[in-house]
């Protein structure tokens, strides 16, 4: 418990006095340093969390959340319907893939072909979003390309393009690569430049006919309502399909997200040093405060104030400075994170520069995601650092010799 005397003396030492000018400067810089450290750490963590979430959303908007490949090409869908994952599944569809070369008058371009059934194509997330234009049914002889690829090839919906495949057919003049003309039925926009420039969609029957693919080469794509906890979902799928090959969006992008996780942890450690360095300023401030208040400490001891009360008083001074700076830093960090996109636009306009170009970071806007667990962890680390650095001056103040202190005053 904190006594009334301890409270009064603590708040008295916290008040600004003209004769304590240098001490006040140290206290102010300690407060500012801790506040900025906490706020910067929250801002960086929220932007990195937002970037990761936005990246996952875009990847999951284009690729399946889980893909099952059977060795015989047969899928027992009753296993899915009978599993505990049925309520979590948004859609299930069959697909296949291959490669081809687009031939136009001006450009020849290699592309990855993804085949879907006529009616199932509309269940893809990129078809459901507002950037999709054209028919949502993938008829035979129809092809869906990205809007960006349409610009590059100078083609529009309704135009025709030719594809050359890696399979061969016998003709009068020998074996030649298969070639087929498709009509563009729709444009998609995934938000990923690499996907938009290299992937097209065709009817699965056209794909298999042109590439001589057998039905046992097909995949079963599963889309979940919430694919965040994909590792747990994969374990449940493995129970239902023990003999099939299962891979998820996380498996396909493991190096990328592992790098992001390492970068996030390193940034947390590095930026935490700002808080620790600022907290050490409290030692300087409290040490000077103890030196300035030596006579008062001696008088307090001479009238019967216990050593633990002296420790408590100076500890509370550092603790209050650290807690108030942490709270201010949390508020500043949250406000800055919420308005990060407005701030980015303002800086870009003011200095006529492009911050975080979309083609590099896959971002059209600056994302953020406030993780209150991270904010709590940052706050606790800041307060613990403050408590630790406040102990030494507090113990030093309680160990002052009363007689010697009064002798030289």
Do both 97 and 47 map to the same domain?
no
Do both 132 and 218 map to the same domain?
yes
Residue at a domain's end among 182, 211, 226: 226
Do both 71 and 220 map to the same domain?
yes
Q: Distance (Å, rounded) from C-alpha 227 to C-alpha 65?
A: 6
In a domain, 390, yes or no: yes
The string of DSSP codes covering 68-122 is: EE-SSS---THHHHTSTTGGGEEEEEEEEEEEEEEE-SS-EEEEEEEEE-TTTGG
Whether the pLDDT of residue 373 is over 80: the answer is yes
Do both 85 and 49 map to the same domain?
no
Which residues touch 74 (CB under 8 Å, ≥6 apart)? Answer: 216
Q: Which of 16-25, 36-45, 63-72, 261-270 has the highest mean pLDDT?
A: 36-45
Whether the pLDDT of residue 330 is over 80: the answer is yes
Do both 30 and 150 map to the same domain?
no
% of the chain with per-residue pLDDT over 70: 87
In a domain, 23, yes or no: yes
In a domain, 239, yes or no: no
> Closest Cα to residue 149, out of 97, 121, 204, 109?
109
Q: Distance (Å, rounded) from C-alpha 37 to C-alpha 382?
A: 9
Q: Distance (Å, rounded) from C-alpha 187 to C-alpha 185?
A: 7
Confidence of residue 368 (pLDDT cuts 50, 70, 90): confident
User: Which is higher by pLDDT, 360 or 59?
Assistant: 59
What's the mean pLDDT when you consider all of the chain?
80
Q: What is the mean pLDDT of residues 259-268?
A: 80
Do both 70 and 195 map to the same domain?
yes
Whether the pLDDT of residue 21 is over 80: the answer is no
In a domain, 241, yes or no: no
Confidence of residue 77 (pLDDT cuts 50, 70, 90): low
Do both 44 and 81 map to the same domain?
no
Q: Show the tokens assigned to 118.
A: 């006529």
In total, how many domains does the chain have? 2
Do both 292 and 361 map to the same domain?
yes
Do both 71 and 212 map to the same domain?
yes
Do both 190 and 288 map to the same domain?
no
Residue 72 is predicted with a pLDDT of 67
In a domain, 232, yes or no: no
SS3 category, 176: strand
Whether the pLDDT of residue 398 is over 60: the answer is yes
Q: For the chain, how far is it from start to end, CA to CA, in angstroms?
A: 32
How wide is the angle at C-alpha 33 spanned by C-alphas 32 and 36, nearest 5°?
A: 80
Do both 310 and 210 map to the same domain?
no
User: Which is higher by pLDDT, 274 or 15?
Assistant: 274
Residue numbers of the domain that contains 173: 66-226
In a domain, 240, yes or no: no
In a domain, 201, yes or no: yes
Confidence of residue 300 (pLDDT cuts 50, 70, 90): confident
In a domain, 235, yes or no: no
Whether the pLDDT of residue 331 is over 90: the answer is yes
Do both 115 and 184 map to the same domain?
yes
């Amino acid at each position: 418990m904190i006594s009334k005397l301890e409270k009064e003396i603590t708040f008295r030492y916290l008040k600004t006095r003209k004769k304590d000018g240098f001490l006040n400067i140290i206290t102010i810089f300690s407060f500012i340093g801790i506040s900025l450290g906490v706020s910067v750490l929250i801002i960086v963590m929220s932007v990195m969390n937002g970037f990761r979430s936005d990246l996952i959303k875009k990847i999951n908007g284009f690729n399946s959340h889980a893909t099952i490949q059977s060795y015989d090409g047969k899928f027992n869908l009753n296993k899915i319907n009978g599993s505990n994952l049925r309520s979590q599944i948004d859609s299930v569809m069959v697909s296949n893939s291959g490669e081809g070369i687009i031939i136009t008058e001006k450009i020849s371009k290699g592309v990855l072909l993804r085949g879907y059934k006529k009616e199932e194509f509309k269940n893809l997330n990129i078809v459901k979003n507002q950037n999709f234009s054209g028919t949502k049914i993938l008829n035979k002889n129809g092809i869906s390309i990205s809007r960006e690829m349409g610009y590059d090839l100078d083609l529009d919906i309704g135009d025709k393009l030719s594809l050359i495949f890696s399979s061969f057919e016998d003709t009068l003049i020998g074996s030649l690569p298969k070639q087929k003309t498709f009509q563009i039925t729709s444009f998609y926009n995934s938000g990923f430049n690499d996907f938009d420039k290299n992937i097209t969609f065709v009817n699965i029957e056209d794909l298999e006919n042109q590439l001589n693919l057998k039905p046992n080469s097909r995949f079963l794509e599963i889309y979940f309502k919430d694919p965040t906890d994909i590792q747990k979902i994969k374990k449940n799928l493995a129970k239902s399909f023990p003999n099939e090959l299962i891979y998820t969006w996380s498996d396909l992008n493991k190096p990328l997200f592992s790098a992001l996780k390492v970068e996030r942890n390193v940034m947390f450690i590095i930026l935490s040093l700002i808080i620790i360095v600022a907290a050490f300023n409290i030692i300087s401030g409290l040490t000077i405060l103890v030196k300035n208040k030596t006579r008062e400490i001696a008088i307090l001891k001479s009238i019967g104030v216990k050593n633990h009360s002296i420790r408590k008083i100076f500890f509370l001074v550092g603790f209050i400075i650290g807690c108030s700076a942490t709270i201010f830093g949390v508020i500043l960090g949250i406000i800055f994170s919420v308005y990060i996109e407005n701030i980015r636009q303002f800086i870009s306009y003011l200095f006529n520069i492009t911050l975080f170009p979309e083609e590099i970071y896959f971002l059209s806007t600056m994302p953020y995601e406030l993780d209150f667990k991270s904010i709590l962890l940052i706050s606790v680390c800041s307060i613990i650092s403050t408590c630790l650095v406040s102990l030494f001056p507090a113990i030093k103040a309680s160990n002052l010799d009363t007689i010697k202190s009064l002798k030289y005053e």
